[in-house]
Amino acid sequence: MTNTRQGNILVVDDDADVLDAAKLYLKRHFAQIDTTLDPQTIPDLLRQQNYDVILLDMNFTKDLNSGKEGFFWLDQILKLDPSSVVVMVTAYGDVELAVRAIKEGATDFVVKPWENKKLLATVLSAMKLRESRLESDKLRSWQKQVNEDIAKQSHDIIGQSDPMLRLYETIRQVAKTDANVLILGENGTGKELIAHAIHRNSKRASEVFVNVDLGALSETLFESELFGHVKGAFTDAKEDRSGRFEIASGGTIFLDEIGNLSTAMQAKLLTVLQSKEVVRLGSNKVIPVDVRQIFATNMDLHKMVGEQSFRQDLLYRINTIEIQVPPLRQRQEDIPLLAEYFLQHYVKKYQKSIRSLSEAALKRMQKYNWPGNVRELQHVMERAVIMNKGFTLHAEDLFINTRLAEDTENQENVIISNFNLEHVERIMIQKTLKKNLGSVTKAAKELGLTRTSLYRRMEKYGFKEL
């Protein structure tokens, strides 16, 4: 007994005997088989039903074998549903016509009279392609919705300082092109926001924006995630899957933390960037992709090229335009704007009654050099809003230690001029706490001390835990 699979098949042919034969055989394998003698009914049928595979005759007029009618209806079908999978049927076995049909959007072709097993194999293969296309469309739709949600909720790029005004002008100029962009900057400066801004102001703004954290991809997942895979490509590959490049086709792909790629992964990525084609893992089929590429890193790629840990040819491929995002300490006049923005955002989020920031609080923030940049400022403001019970945020509500920054600046040269052990120890503790954003656990580990020992020394020098 033959197992019936899910699947809706439409057969379009002007020969009633062909339709009967196709329906009789295919209904043993698929859930629904519809047939029609008249191609004029195709638009109505497609509006009423989603077909997984359409078998379309090349010719409908007697004594005509040009395939002109078949090409016309192939075009109409793809206009009505671009994800349709169409298999062309011809009685003449004209290879040139078949090749042309595939170039114009058909998936495959069969020759009449067909062998049943070959027909079934062709339809099953076409079914898999349809499933893959629907998955890709679903992922793209999901990603677009996520992007829209993020755009509504995410923080805008905020700043009126000269460095930021120059950055805005660069974004404006770069966005309207399809040039590759490399965004450089420290952690927390907002590199992803810059990438989103470029996409939103580009001609691809209505298309998908796909974000990939390359730093989180292992060697084994790299190809599968970026280029996709077919069923059986590896142990857990239970179905075909589109890669990020394929999903992003037509839109923008943002490859973050590119400096973290191994040389082997760099070579594979370079091949795709040069060819603008991907091959799914486990397959030989070439899939063209059309994507705007934006890259980001906090690492010095030029130095890495000199150290031979980053490919020079890849760097030249990705840095057509380089954008340097300024750290927060280089645009301190933007701190009040950012602080006010985050204050309003978190007051609304946590339903607080806070109305303002005190002058002392702003001065304290402007004295601090923000090693974690805007992200650190955001976290400080969120924590302050959560913990505050009044109407104003005061300096003491901010969990930052400006003393560390001030003391480090004033005493940085003490090690050179004064070898007093206590001075040296004090400065090392200050610098290590600053480096680790006040984390006692991390600082103690770096200094080779236990947490208890570090707390004891902090108490000795009058330091308070952040």
* For the chain, counts of helices (H) and of strands (E): 20, 16
Alpha helices in 104-190 (DSSP H): 116-153, 162-175
Give the C-alpha distances (Å, rounded to integers) separating 295 from 244, 258, 287, 383.
14, 7, 22, 31
- Kindly state the tokens that stand for 343: 């204050």
What distance in Å separates the CA atoms of residue 299 and residue 116, rounded to the nearest whole number? 59
3-state secondary structure of 292: strand
What distance in Å separates the CA atoms of residue 310 and residue 438, rounded to the nearest whole number? 33
Q: In degrees rounded to 5, what are phi and psi of residue 392?
A: -135, 140
Cβ–Cβ < 8 Å for 210, 227? no
3-state secondary structure of 283: coil
Report field, pTM of the whole predicted structure over 0.85: no
- What is the predicted pLDDT for the residue at 445? 80
Whether the CA torsion 381, 382, 388, 389 is positive or negative: it is positive
Cβ–Cβ < 8 Å for 336, 362? yes
What distance in Å separates the CA atoms of residue 116 and residue 122, rounded to the nearest whole number? 10
What distance in Å separates the CA atoms of residue 71 and residue 275, rounded to the nearest whole number? 30
> Which pairs count as long-range contacts for 127-131, CB under 8 Å and 24+ apart, including other chains?
127/5, 127/7, 127/52, 127/53, 127/85, 128/231, 128/240, 129/85, 130/52, 130/53, 130/83, 130/84, 130/85, 131/52, 131/239, 131/240
- What is the predicted pLDDT for the residue at 301? 95
Give Cβ neighbours of residue 241 (< 8 Å, ≥ 6 apart).
135, 224, 228, 229, 280
| Cα distance between the two ends of the chain | 72
Mode of pairing for the β-strands spanning 53-57 and 86-90: parallel
- What is the predicted pLDDT for the residue at 182? 98
Cβ neighbours of 183 (radius 10 Å): 26
Give Cβ neighbours of residue 33 (< 8 Å, ≥ 6 apart).
9, 11, 22, 23, 26, 27
- Residue among 263, 271, 324 nearest 298 (CA): 324
Domains, the chain:
5-132 (3.40.50.2300), 154-324 (3.40.50.300), 328-400 (1.10.8.60), 403-460 (1.10.10)
Cβ–Cβ < 8 Å for 49, 5? no
- What is the predicted pLDDT for the residue at 43? 93
pLDDT in tens, the chain (466 residues): 455 667 899 999 988 999 999 999 999 999 899 999 999 999 999 888 889 999 999 888 755 667 788 899 999 999 888 889 999 988 766 667 877 888 889 999 888 888 899 999 999 999 988 888 877 776 776 766 666 655 554 557 899 999 999 999 999 999 999 999 999 999 999 999 999 999 999 999 999 999 999 988 888 889 999 999 888 888 888 888 889 999 999 999 999 999 999 999 999 999 999 999 999 998 888 889 999 999 999 999 999 999 999 999 999 999 999 999 999 999 999 999 999 999 999 999 999 999 999 999 999 999 899 999 999 999 999 999 999 989 999 999 998 865 544 544 454 444 434 445 666 777 788 888 877 777 788 888 888 777 777 877 787 777 765 5
The DSSP code sequence of 348-409 is HHHT----EE-HHHHHHHHHS--TTHHHHHHHHHHHHHHH--SSEE-GGGS---HHHHHHHH
Integer Rg of the chain from CA? 31
Cβ–Cβ < 8 Å for 420, 407? no
- What is the predicted pLDDT for the residue at 2? 52
- Residue among 70, 73, 77 nearest 91 (CA): 70
Cβ neighbours of 129 (radius 10 Å): 16
